[in-house]
Amino acid sequence: MENSKAFSLKNLGLGCLLTAAVSGCSEFDSSFAYSAKTESLIAEAQDGTDAAPGVKPTLDSRFGNPQQLKAWLKLPVEWGGASARVEAVASTDTEIRIRFTPEEGKSLPTEAGSVQFITGEGAGQTVAITKWDAQTGEAVLASLPEKSPASGDLCAIDGGAALQSGRVLYMRHCSHCHGTAGDGKGPTAEYLNPKPRDYRHGVFKFTSTNDQSKVSREDLLRVLKYGIPGTYMPSFLLMKDEELHAIVEYVRFLAMRGEYERKLVNELASDYSEKSVSDRLKDEKRSDIVQELNEFLKDEFPATADSLGDELGEVWTAADTEDAKIIPSVPRVPDSPESRRRGRALYLSSTLNCADCHGIDGAGNGPQTLAFEKNPVSGELYKEAGLHDEWDNLNQPRNLQRGIFRGGRRPIDLFCRIHAGIKGSRMPSFKNTPHEDIWHIVNYLLSLQFESEPGAIAAAPAAAAEAAPAAAGD
């Protein structure tokens, strides 16, 4: 599938950009769809003016398209490939041999398909490697680069390879639900309940990170491996670890792309959406508005776009640090009827008020499920009664009696759900609740599948009804 890997490098003062082209034998190309909000801008804001690029070109120059991904090195994505330096160049008329040395603390890959020069004269060129000796680091290049590299130049061997393999895997396993752009709008998506995640908000529900943090790689990996019970997100347990990692990186890439797009659009939406422009036309001229936009795009937008990238890089990097991780300050309180009773009392207490949504018995039928909610963005009431999530999908509170916990059934999973809340949903964070109390609640929740009131059943599993009939056997 990946017969040509053309990398180009653009140093736009934005940090380095690696381009990984993935061209397959497919006859026509897929593309990253832009968000509805981007499409709601006036054309000049979307595409840019003569003077400066708008949202779409800015986005494309940093992220590329599925066939030609770009690596914006501001972002903490493991792009793949090995960085190395040119040690010696020996060229004849017909071939050019380069010896590479790995960057300190790194090693050279065992196989190599191409090299991309990042600094020096030859910067920006990508050349295919025909022969590769991993031992000596010597490569025979397929063709002579236009500008010869010199020793000491920084280069990337198979730059972006991991991201590309992530893309290939994502398109095979994930895209038909989550969409090519990670917008949760693949062809299968319309049939699913709940709807597949739209990554473009940069928000993931089930994380082990605290309420203000992004999702960690480990969290995404966990979801991939074990699926989300009670939804159509299946378990991909049997995929190889490196495949799973590649998918995680690609998903993070898509999430960052989407989030970045949202942020960029927010800079422009209030003044330059079709709607606000048509409002403004009442007392302004269109050419003035475009002129104003033009100046904004030229003078302020590039710097803003840059700093938004920096911010994004920071928060996504932080998510994988120990600081972001939720670590209970006390170990789990041993499960006991007393603890469960305490948990139930907290559950019903007016400070936590779990029952308001989850219902008095935890059946997910609290009074809030019958109320009409207001859409926080548009300010209008939702059509269906009940709680909605950030993606405007109806997202009713969990029925805790079923024993199905989407984010996992381990005590720590439930602890995290309570501590950090469920991001993007109406489940709030209870991080100020003492950890011991959270554990009591966890104990209570885990018991709900088996007893409605703590202590209602004795520990006598033999009494459990054998409800389902056995198959005809003999």
Partner 1 sequence: MATITPALDTHDHSHDHAHGHHEQTFIQKYVFSTDHKVIGIQFLITTILMLMVGGALALAVRWQLAFPWESMPLIGRVFGLFHGEGGQISPEFYTMLFTMHASVMIFLVIIPVLAGAFGNFLIPLQIGADDMAFPVLNMLSYWFMWPAIFCFGVSFVASGPTAGPGNGWTSYPVLSDLAAAAPSSGAAQTWWLFGLTLVGVSSMMGSVNYMTTIINMRAPGMTLFRMPLTIWSMFITAILQAFALPVLTAAGFMLVFDRLSELLPTTIHSVFFVPAGIIVNNAAPTVGGGQPLLWQHLFWFYSHPAVYIMLLPAMGMVSDMLACMSRKPVFGYKPMVYSMAAIAGLGFIVWGHHMFTSGMNPALGMTFMTSTMMIALPSAIKVFNWIGTIWDGNIQFNAVFLNCAAFVALFIVGGLSGIFMAAVPVDIYFHDTYFIVAHFHYVLFGATLFGVFAGIQFWFPKMFGRMMNDKVAKVHFVLTFIGMNGTFFPMHLLGIAGMPRRYADPYLHGYLEHLLPMNQFMTISAIIMGFAQFLLLGNFFYSIFRGQKAGRNPWGANGLEWSAPSPPGHGNFDVPPVCYRGPYEYSSPEAEALGQDFILQTTAPPAGVQRVAVHH
Partner 2 sequence: MKKFWALFFWFWPLVALYVCLIAPSRGWWFPSEPLSTLGHQIDGLFYLILIIVTVTFVGTQAALGYALWKGATKGSSQKAWFSHGSHKLEIIWTIVPAFVLVFISLTQLDVLADIRVLSKFPDSVQNSPVAEVMARQFEWRIRYPKPGTKLMNEPQPGDLYFVNEVHVPAAVPTMINLRTQDVQHAFFAPRLRVKQDAVPGLIIPVWFEIEKAGEYELLCAELCGWGHYKMKARIIADSQKGVDEYLTRLELEQNEDGVADAEASAE
Q: How far is CA 413 from CA 13, 65, 211, in A?
A: 42, 36, 14
Under the criterion CB under 8 A, does residue 341 sit at the interface with partner 2? no
Q: Which is nearer to partner 1, 185 or 344 (CB)?
A: 185
**Least distance to partner 1 from the beta carbon of 244, Å?**
14
Consecutive H or E run containing 12: none
Quick note: the x/- pattern for partner 2 over 409-438, rule CB under 8 A, is xxxx--xx----------------------
**Least distance to partner 2 from the beta carbon of 445, Å?**
13
Query: Where does this chain touch partner 2 (CB under 8 A) — which range of 24-32, 126-134, 303-311, 323-331?
Result: 323-331
Under the criterion CB under 8 A, does residue 455 sit at the interface with partner 2? no
* Residue 328 binds which of partner 1, partner 2, none (CB < 5-8 A, kind-dependent): partner 2
Query: Where does this chain touch partner 2 (CB under 8 A) — which range of 133-141, 155-163, 291-299, 463-471?
Result: 463-471
Task: Find residue 97's DSSP bridge partners.
Answer: 90, 140
Output the DSSP codes for 453-469: STTSS-S-GGGS---SP
* Residue 28 binds which of partner 2, partner 1, none (CB < 5-8 A, kind-dependent): partner 1
Enumerate residues 148-187 that contact partner 1 by CB under 8 A. Answer: 171-172, 175-176, 179-181, 185-187
* Residue 179 binds which of partner 1, partner 2, none (CB < 5-8 A, kind-dependent): partner 1
Q: Which is nearer to partner 2, 289 or 416 (CB)?
A: 416
Output the DSSP codes for 66-124: TTEEEEETTS-----SEEEEEEEEEE-SS-EEEEEEEPTT----S---EEEE-SSTTTT
Cβ-in-10-Å burial (0-12, 13-18, 19+) of 367 comes to exposed
* Residue 412 binds which of partner 1, partner 2, none (CB < 5-8 A, kind-dependent): partner 2
* Residue 385 binds which of partner 2, partner 1, none (CB < 5-8 A, kind-dependent): none
Nearest CA among 3, 20, 247 for reference residue 156 = 20
Q: Which is nearer to partner 1, 154 or 192 (CB)?
A: 192
Residues in the chain: 474
Consecutive H or E run containing 18: strand 16-21
Nearest CA among 166, 167, 204, 163 for reference residue 73 = 163
**Cβ within 8 Å of residue 10, ≥6 positions away:** 17, 19, 61, 124
* Residue 126 binds which of partner 2, partner 1, none (CB < 5-8 A, kind-dependent): none
Nearest CA among 206, 228, 229 for reference residue 403 = 229
Q: How many residues bind partner 2 (CB under 8 A)?
A: 42
* Residue 208 binds which of partner 2, partner 1, none (CB < 5-8 A, kind-dependent): partner 2
CA angle 381, 384, 389 (to 5 degrees): 75
Q: Which of 33, 154, 318, 385 binds partner 1 (CB under 8 A)?
A: 33
Enumerate residues 323-382 that contact partner 1 by CB under 8 A. Answer: none
Q: Look-up: residue for tokens 């920006």?
A: 124
Under the criterion CB under 8 A, does residue 391 sit at the interface with partner 2? no
Under the criterion CB under 8 A, does residue 235 sit at the interface with partner 1? no
CB atoms within 10 A of CB 470: 6
